[in-house]
């Protein structure tokens, strides 16, 4: 394989191609700028640089390739052999760039790879653009995201790569032609040959690269397109579908026909030219034996001259030789020899003649004198360096048969008239051919150019024969002078060892093929171009009715039913158009009906009063059916007609008909249709039926459980009713039923509203109602008085915008629990305290639609609680001293004397009771201090450490109940929890909750303690598998002295203050505590504490939701 090099300087046509390729490249790069933006990702950029380097390394492995389909031609007028095509790995970086980087980077990688490839084969400066466009097309096919099976197949590398190479191959043909365009048809021949020879290995190379990339697709992550979203362009209209089908088909057929015409004309032209060369060669081959026979016959005739046989006078002999030589223009010199080989006479004499014999002539002379046989030499050079052919014949006495000597005749081949006549028949075959004759030693012995004589010429045995000829051999060979293609025909001369050779430039074949093919190709191009132009027009004409139908369908879909659908003709499309028009008319009528129903529905929904809504229904019935009268008869609870409302032409005497039709229709399940009222004898008396109304349709107005009214529509003429008309009136009756039911419900709701208003006005509890966005919907008078606000101002405002107390606003800001209520105390500026309970209002399907807040004045209860607390604190303090004396003296009793067993039992019971009272008093005093905020520290506390210490401290308590098989478990802490508070009190919270869980967990149970930290709060969780808590007990669980009264808890000791202390400590730290429990399953106590500093506003608030 040759080195990487390019032909310089470029040809003129190459400059023109460069001027064309440059803007196209710029446009493609701009079109794919998004692919280059993605190279900001370092991984993509590294891949891009790696592929550029790989394109250079790919030329290190090059394998020559020969398909046998193309006989490579050298460049015209360049005496050099062409570079053979090869297979390399250059396509692999290009296909990989197209798959994973996109068309733009693939174009650059293809351009670089094309430089290496063109520098090793075609050597044209414009040839790399062929590989660049191949990269762009490969990237486009591999990364297009069109839906459908054809785009899916086109995305596969094994098809996209070879297809892109095939589509880009015309650029290589164009580039090669531009380089040798000055040689005309030979340039076309060379370009087609070289492009075709390089296409086959390029396709094979590209297919191998595509298989490698296809193998990488086994991993879904490496597929550039995971989901196709866009519709292919050919699926958007039927016209495009037909164009995408017919235009490529026409172009393919045109290309196939061009190839067929070109190949056929070339074959025919080649055959004709070779036949003509064969005719000229045969003509010349026939003249060569004549030339030999002529020379031999003339010399034998000269030798039979009696003067040459009998005379020995030199002058006379030369005169006869001169006369013989001038008789026929054939020989250039005659020499007569005696039997001893001595020259007797010669003509012409020196200096024109040459007396010296060549070595071959001497040999042949001796042979003639010895044998008496005629001898003919081979073509050889004379002493004067002339190409000659020598004839020698014996001079024999006719009477005695004695050999008297020999006669030699020399003919100079380049001026022999007989041979020149044969040679001239070989020249100018098709005005361009050249012929010559070679002897048995493959030397040229006859040529129009004397300088070519004695030059060796041989048949190219490696060249395959081009055509079938009767004799001789025809093949194609490069011209040794200008390296262009030429045809060679070689014919052996029959009966002689010479060969006739005719050479003809291949341009003659191309020119003849051009002359034959140009009209056909022009006609074919005209036909193909015409089809390309006509097909869109024909498809547009064929699809115009379908386009009209599609536009009509779009208009109908958009609700435009005013424009008719007009499709001319009687074919299938026209019938579809007529069906569309019928559908449009029906839809328009239906839409008019729906519009009427909408208007009636809007009018009915806008009112809750029958006198205001019924006229719209009746007028709608008249408008929809063109009836004469529309009337509705309202019935009493017993079904008797009561009131009538009507619209239409005023009619007299319809009361009896109203009653008859109401009674007939109230028991009907379906509309009662009377097409001719005069014949309905069973409805009423004949005189009632003989009025101005001739046909009616009666429709009962049916609600859930009764028929409150009957509507009937009357017509002035007997008529038939179609189904659509009955359906429309039935729908209007349904609207009437809605109106009647709404009016009834409104009256009932209005009564309930009045009663509710009276209740809200008279209650002393303050009530606020909000929507889901906490906008105030209702404020009762008690709330107005409590907060000093006006209902008309507060309604519509958000809770945080209304002039409510801060505690109330803060309570609303808390997240609503999944069940239960938010409760808390709300202090008022006047010193009163309200106990607020906020509950969620749920819709029928469980959706939250608002909240209601009920606030009761508990000022009196607060005062009583304070008095109770003071009393308990005083009593507890005063009891400590007596209890101390009791414990002391009781423990001293054994010191006085030995106690009996019963006395010791009594002492133990006294000590136990004193201990319980001491514990109760300690709890009360602690609770009092906590509620008063005395000695409450504010230090950073690590709850995780406190939890571990508290649980470890309770392990002895759990071990003491090991007989029950109780398990105390500590879960890993989730996150870091640091709160500002009193570590001792927080430890007491955990201790009380764990102690409580141990008490109420039966044998085999598990008590679990855990801590989790969140964004702004942390949560302590103590869970047990104990007896559970009933919902009624959970409401009061955190009250002082409250204990669950159950049969299975009677033996469990306790004061009822542990959970109250927990609640008080947690709230003093700005948190809240609650419980979730199920009977006989277990309970979980939660204590939520804020992280960081404590918000003073939350301290002391009762924010414990009931669970």
Read off the tokens for 221.
């992550």
Q: If phi over 0 gives left and psi between -120 and 50 gives alpha, with beta otherwise, what is residue 720?
A: beta
Q: In terms of DSSP H, where are the helices of 58-156? A: 91-100, 103-120, 128-143, 149-154
Three-state DSSP at 608 gives coil
- Which residues, in sequence order, are CB contacts of 243 under 8 Å at separation 6+? 234, 535, 536, 539
pLDDT score, position 105: 92
> Would the pLDDT of 872 be above 70?
no
Q: Which pLDDT does position 980 carry in this prediction?
A: 87
Instruction: Identify whether the C-beta of residue 1004 lies closer than 8 Å to the C-beta of residue 961.
Output: no
Q: Which domain holds residue 1096?
A: 936-1107
Q: Is 431 left (phi over 0), alpha (psi -120 to 50) or beta?
A: left
Q: Are residues 737 and 789 part of one domain?
A: no
Residues 427-447: what's their mean pLDDT? Answer: 85
pLDDT band at 393 (very low <50, low <70, confident <90, very high): very high
Where do we find the tokens 């020499």? 335
Please indicate, yes or no, if residue 876 is contained in any of the structural domains. no
Summarize the confidence of residues 550-573 as an average pLDDT. Answer: 77
pLDDT-derived band of residue 1083, with 50, 70 and 90 as boundaries? very high
Provide the CATH number for the domain around residue 148: 1.10.1760.20
Q: Looking at residue 785, which CATH number applies to its domain?
A: 3.30.450.20
Residue 226 belongs to some domain of the structure:
yes
Q: How far apart are CA 1 and CA 84, in angstroms?
A: 8
pLDDT of residue 587: 78
Q: Which residue has the higher pLDDT, 1072 or 897?
A: 1072
Instruction: Pick the more confident residue, 209 or 639.
Output: 209
* 106 to 100, 156, 204, 214, 924: CA distances (angstroms): 9, 16, 19, 17, 85
773 with 731, same domain: the answer is no
For residue 493, the 8-state DSSP code is P
Whole-angstrom distance, CA of residue 669 vs CA of residue 851: 44
- Please report whether residue 651 resides in a domain: yes
Q: Which CATH number covers residue 701?
A: 3.30.450.40
Looking at residue 929, what is its pLDDT? 61
pLDDT of 932 above 60: no
Q: Do residues 730 and 796 share a domain? A: no
* CATH number, position 987: 3.30.565.10
- In 572-678, the DSSP E strands lie at 629-635, 641-648, 672-674
- The more confidently predicted of residues 987 and 539 is 987
Task: Check whether 8 has a pLDDT greater than 70.
Answer: no
410 located within any domain: yes
Determine, yes or no, domain membership for 258: no
Mean pLDDT, the chain, integer: 81
| Whether the Cβ atoms of residue 958 and residue 995 lie closer than 8 Å to each other | no
Instruction: Give Dmax (Cα) for the chain.
Output: 203
One domain, residues 454 and 308: yes
Q: Helix %, strand %, coil % for the chain, to 5?
A: 55, 15, 30
Which of 812, 840, 857 lies at the terminal end of a domain, its last residue? 857
Q: Are 304 and 369 contained in the same domain? A: yes
Of 209, 235, 261, the last residue of a domain is 235
Tokens of 398: 């006719």
Secondary structure, 3-state, 278-290: HHHHHHHHHHHHH
Q: Is residue 769 part of a domain?
A: yes
- Classify residue 733: in a domain, yes or no: yes
**Is the domain of 602 the same as that of 722?**
yes
Handedness of CA 768, 770, 774, 775 (dihedral sign): negative
Helix (H, G, I), strand (E, B) or coil at 1024: strand
Confidence tier at 1 by pLDDT (50, 70, 90):
very low
- Examine the pLDDT at 3 and tell me if it is beyond 60: no
CB atoms within 10 A of CB 523: 11
Which residue among 822, 857, 892 closes a domain? 857
How far CA 778 is from CA of 664, 755, 843, 852, 857, in Å, comes to 49, 15, 18, 9, 19
Going by the DSSP 8-state scheme, the letter that residue 40 receives in this structure is G
Q: Are residues 365 and 446 in the same domain?
A: yes
Give the span between the Cα atoms of 345 and 176, in whole angstroms: 68
Q: Is 135 exposed, middle or buried (0-12, 13-18, 19+ CB in 10 A)?
A: buried
Could you tell me if 132 and 91 are in contact, meaning their C-beta atoms sit under 8 angstroms apart? Answer: no
Same domain for 1105 and 957: yes
Q: Phi and psi for 841 in degrees, rounded to 5?
A: -95, 120
What's the structural domain count of the chain?
A: 5
What digits encode the pLDDT tens for the residues 258-269? 778 878 888 888
Two structure tokens written together for 600? 């009636």
pLDDT value, residue 1098:
41
Q: What separation, in Å, do the N-terminal and C-terminal C-alpha atoms of the chain show?
A: 90
* β-pair partners for 375: 392
Handedness of CA 301, 306, 308, 309 (dihedral sign): positive
Residue 1011 clears pLDDT 60, i.e. is over it: yes
Q: Are 229 and 145 in contact (CB under 8 A)?
A: yes
Residue 568 counted as domain residue: no
Are residues 698 and 801 located together in one domain of the fold? Answer: no
Q: State whether 313 and 461 are in the same domain.
A: yes
Strand 403-412 versus strand 387-396 pairing type: antiparallel
949-960 pLDDT, tens digit per residue, is 888 888 877 777
Burial 58-73 (b: 16+ CB within 10 A, else e): bbeebeebeeeebebb
Higher pLDDT, 647 or 821: 647
Q: Which of 1033, 971, 973 is nearest to 1000 (CA)?
A: 1033
DSSP assignment of 944-987 equals HHHHHHHHHHHHHHHHHTGGGT-EEEEPPPBS--EEEE-HHHHH
Note whether 215 and 350 are same-domain residues: no
Compute the CA torsion angle 668, 674, 678, 684 (nearest 10 deg): 10
123-153 tens-digit pLDDT:
677 888 888 999 999 999 999 888 888 889 9
What kind and span of H or E run contains 1059? helix 1058-1068
Q: Name the residue among 287, 295, 292, 318 with its Cα closest to residue 305.
A: 318
* 512-521 average pLDDT score: 80
**pLDDT tens, position by position, 655-687:** 888 888 888 888 888 888 888 888 887 777 777
Q: How far apart are CA 769 and CA 526, in angstroms?
A: 86
Tell me which residue of 1074, 1107, 1077 sits closest to 1088, measured CA to CA. 1074
Q: Any idea which of 107-121, 288-302, 1070-1084 has the lowest mean pLDDT?
A: 107-121
In this structure, the answer to whether residues 346 and 462 fall within a common structural domain is yes
pLDDT reported for residue 961:
64
Of 628, 695, 696, nearest to 662 by C-alpha is 696
In this prediction, residue 135 carries a pLDDT of 92
């Amino acid at each position: 394989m040759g080195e990487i090099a390019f032909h310089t300087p470029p040809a003129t046509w190459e400059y023109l191609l460069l001027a064309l390729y440059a803007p196209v490249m710029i446009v493609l790069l701009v079109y794919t700028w998004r692919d280059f933006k993605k190279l900001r990702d370092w991984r993509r950029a590294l891949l891009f640089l790696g592929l550029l380097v790989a394109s250079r390394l790919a030329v290190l492995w090059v394998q020559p390739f020969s398909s046998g389909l193309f006989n490579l031609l050298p460049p015209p007028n360049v005496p050099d052999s062409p570079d053979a095509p090869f297979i390399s790995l250059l396509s692999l970086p290009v296909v990989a760039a197209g798959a994973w980087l996109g068309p733009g980077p693939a174009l650059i990688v293809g351009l670089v790879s094309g430089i290496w490839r063109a520098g090793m084969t075609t050597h044209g400066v414009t040839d790399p653009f062929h590989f660049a466009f191949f990269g762009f097309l490969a990237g486009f096919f591999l990364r297009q995201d069109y839906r459908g099976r054809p785009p899916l197949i086109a995305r596969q590398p094994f098809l996209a790569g070879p297809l892109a190479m095939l589509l880009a191959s015309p650029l290589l043909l164009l580039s090669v032609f531009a380089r040798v365009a000055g040689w005309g048809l030979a340039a076309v021949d060379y370009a087609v040959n070289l492009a075709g020879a390089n296409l086959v290995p390029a396709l094979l190379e590209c297919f191998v690269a595509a298989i490698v990339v296809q193998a990488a697709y086994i991993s879904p992550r490496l597929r550039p397109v995971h989901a196709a979203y866009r519709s292919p362009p050919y699926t958007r209209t039927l016209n495009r579908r037909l164009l995408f089908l017919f235009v490529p088909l026409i172009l393919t057929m045109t290309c196939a026909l061009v190839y067929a015409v070109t190949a056929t004309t070339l074959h025919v032209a080649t055959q004709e030219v070779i036949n003509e060369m064969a005719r000229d060669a045969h003509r010349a081959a026939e003249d060569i034996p004549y030339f030999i026979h002529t020379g031999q016959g003339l010399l034998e005739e000269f030798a039979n001259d009696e003067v040459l046989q009998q005379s020995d006078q030199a002058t006379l002999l030369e005169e006869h030789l001169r006369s013989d030589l001038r008789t026929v223009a054939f020989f250039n010199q005659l020499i007569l020899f005696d039997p001893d080989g001595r020259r007797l006479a010669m003509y012409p004499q020196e200096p024109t003649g040459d007396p010296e014999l060549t070595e071959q002539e001497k040999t042949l002379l001796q042979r003639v004198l010895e044998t008496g046989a005629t001898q003919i030499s081979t073509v050889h050079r004379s002493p004067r360096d002339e190409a000659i052919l020598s004839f020698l014949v014996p001079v024999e006495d006719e009477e005695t048969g004695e050999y008297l000597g020999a006669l030699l005749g020399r003919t100079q081949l380049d001026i022999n008239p007989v041979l020149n006549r044969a040679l001239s028949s070989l020249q100018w075959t098709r005005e361009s051919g050249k012929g010559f004759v070679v002897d048995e030693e493959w030397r040229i012995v006859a040529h129009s150019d004397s300088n070519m004589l004695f030059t060796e010429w041989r048949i190219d045995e490696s060249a395959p024969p081009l055509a079938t000829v009767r004799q001789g051999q025809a093949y194609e060979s490069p011209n040794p002078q200008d390296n262009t293609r030429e045809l060679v025909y070689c014919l052996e001369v029959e009966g002689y060892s010479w060969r006739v050779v005719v050479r003809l430039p291949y341009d003659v074949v191309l020119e003849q093929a051009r002359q034959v093919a140009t009209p056909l190709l022009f006609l074919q191009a005209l036909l193909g171009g015409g089809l390309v132009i006509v097909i869109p027009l024909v498809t547009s004409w064929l699809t115009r009715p379908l386009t009209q139908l599609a536009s009509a369908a779009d208009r109908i879909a958009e609700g435009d039913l005013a424009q008719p659908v007009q499709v001319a003709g009687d074919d299938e499309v026209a019938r579809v158009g007529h069906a569309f028009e019928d559908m449009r008319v029906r839809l328009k009528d239906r839409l008019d009906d729906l519009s009427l129903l909408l208007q009636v529905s809007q009018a009915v929904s806008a009112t809750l009063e029958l006198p205001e809504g019924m006229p719209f229904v009746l007028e709608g019935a008249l408008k929809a059916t063109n009836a004469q009268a529309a009337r509705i008869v309202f019935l009493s609870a017993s079904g008797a007609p009561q009131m009538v409302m009507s619209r239409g032409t005023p009619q007299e005497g319809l009361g009896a008909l109203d009653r008859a039709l109401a009674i007939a229709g109230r028991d009907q399940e379906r509309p009662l249709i009377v097409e001719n009222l005069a014949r309905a004898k069973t409805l009423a008396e004949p005189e009632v039926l003989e009025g101005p109304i001739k046909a009616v349709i009666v429709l009962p107005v049916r609600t859930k459980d009764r028929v409150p009214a009957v509507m009937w529509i009357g017509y002035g003429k007997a008529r038939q009713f179609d189904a659509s008309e009955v359906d429309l009136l039935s729908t209007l009756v349904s609207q009437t039923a809605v109106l009647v039911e709404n009016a009834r419900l409104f009256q009932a709701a209005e009564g309930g509203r009045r009663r509710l208003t009276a209740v809200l006005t008279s209650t002393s509890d303050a009530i606020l109602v909000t929507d889901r966005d906490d906008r105030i919907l209702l404020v009762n008078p008690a709330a107005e008085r409590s907060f000093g606000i006006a209902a008309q101002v507060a309604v519509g405002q958000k809770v945080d915008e209304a002039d409510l107390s801060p505690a109330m606003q803060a309570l609303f800001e808390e997240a609503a629990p999944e069940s239960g209520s938010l409760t808390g105390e709300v202090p008022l500026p006047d010193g009163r305290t309200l106990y607020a309970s906020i509950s969620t209002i749920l819709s029928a399907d469980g959706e939250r639609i608002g909240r209601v807040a009920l606030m009761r004045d508990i000022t009196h209860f607060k005062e009583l609680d304070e008095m109770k607390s003071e009393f308990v604190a005083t009593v507890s303090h005063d009891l400590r001293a007596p209890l101390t004396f009791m414990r002391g003296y009781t423990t001293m009793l054994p010191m006085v004397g030995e106690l009996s067993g019963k006395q010791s039992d009594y002492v133990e019971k006294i000590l136990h009771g004193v201990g319980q009272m001491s514990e109760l008093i300690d709890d009360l005093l602690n609770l009092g201090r906590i509620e008063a905020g005395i000695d409450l520290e504010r230090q950073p506390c690590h709850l995780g450490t406190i939890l571990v210490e508290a649980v470890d401290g309770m392990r002895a308590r759990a071990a003491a109940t090991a007989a029950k098989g109780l398990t105390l478990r500590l879960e890993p802490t989730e996150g870091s929890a640091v709160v500002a508070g009193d570590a001792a009190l927080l430890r007491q919270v955990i201790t009380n909750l764990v102690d409580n869980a141990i008490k109420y967990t039966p044998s085999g149970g598990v008590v679990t303690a855990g801590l989790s930290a969140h964004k702004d709060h942390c949560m302590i969780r103590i869970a047990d598998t104990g007896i559970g808590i009933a919902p009624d007990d959970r409401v009061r669980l955190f009250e002082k002295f409250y204990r669950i009264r159950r049969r299975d808890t009677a033996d469990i000791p306790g004061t009822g203050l542990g959970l109250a202390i927990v609640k008080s400590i947690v709230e003093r730290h700005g948190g809240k505590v609650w419980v979730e429990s199920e009977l006989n399953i277990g309970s979980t106590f939660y204590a939520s504490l804020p992280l960081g500093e404590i918000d003073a506003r939350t301290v002391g608030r009762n924010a414990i939701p009931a669970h």
